[in-house]
Amino acid sequence: MIRAVENLFIAVLGVAGGLAVGSGLVALLIVFDLVPRLAQLSRAFRMSIWFETAIVCGSLYWTFADFMDWKVRLPSAFALAGSGLLDGMFVGMLAAALTEVINVLPILAKRLGLSAYMFGLVMAMVLGKTVGSLFDWLVFQW
């Protein structure tokens, strides 16, 4: 009897935690308008339904992968590099959309007089993050 109550408590706690995290993600996506802003930045307004579908499908897939302990066996370093590139593109685009939504870059560019160089400023940040990450992974992690 006590074991069943423990299992029920753990199940309720897990569902409550999942609802809290899921609600936080949905609040982030809605309040910051990340999907519409991402569609605007990529000039793909007609494909915004694909962005939304990709977020939902990715969330569902990785939830099942985590719960069922799925393993992805990549056959070569080339496949691993492709997977890493896609992951990096996703994180970079999400970070760029979030940064753009909260107006950090426009305010910074306006105050520094770099409004005409906004694209270069964003690319410098992206390349700096990429080079810094690669340096960390390839030099410090090995």
Digit-coded pLDDT (tens) for 109-130: 788 887 788 888 778 878 888 8
* HSE, side-chain direction, 13 A CA sphere, residue 124: 8
Query: pLDDT class for 99, splitting at 50, 70, 90?
Result: low
Percentages (nearest 5) of helix, strand, coil residues in the chain: 85, 0, 15
pTM (two decimals): 0.47
**pLDDT (0 to 100) of residue 102:** 65
Q: Which amino acid is at 88?
A: G
* HSE, side-chain direction, 13 A CA sphere, residue 52: 11
Orientation angle between helical segments 118-135 and 104-112, nearest 10 degrees: 120
Q: What digits encode the pLDDT tens for the residues 57-98?
A: 888 888 888 888 888 776 787 777 888 888 888 887 777 766
Task: Please name the residues in contact with 9: beta carbons below 8 A apart, sequence gap of 6 or more.
Answer: none
Tokens of 42: 């990529």
- Whether 101 shows a pLDDT value over 70: the answer reads no
Alpha-carbon torsion 85, 34, 118, 124, what sign? Answer: negative
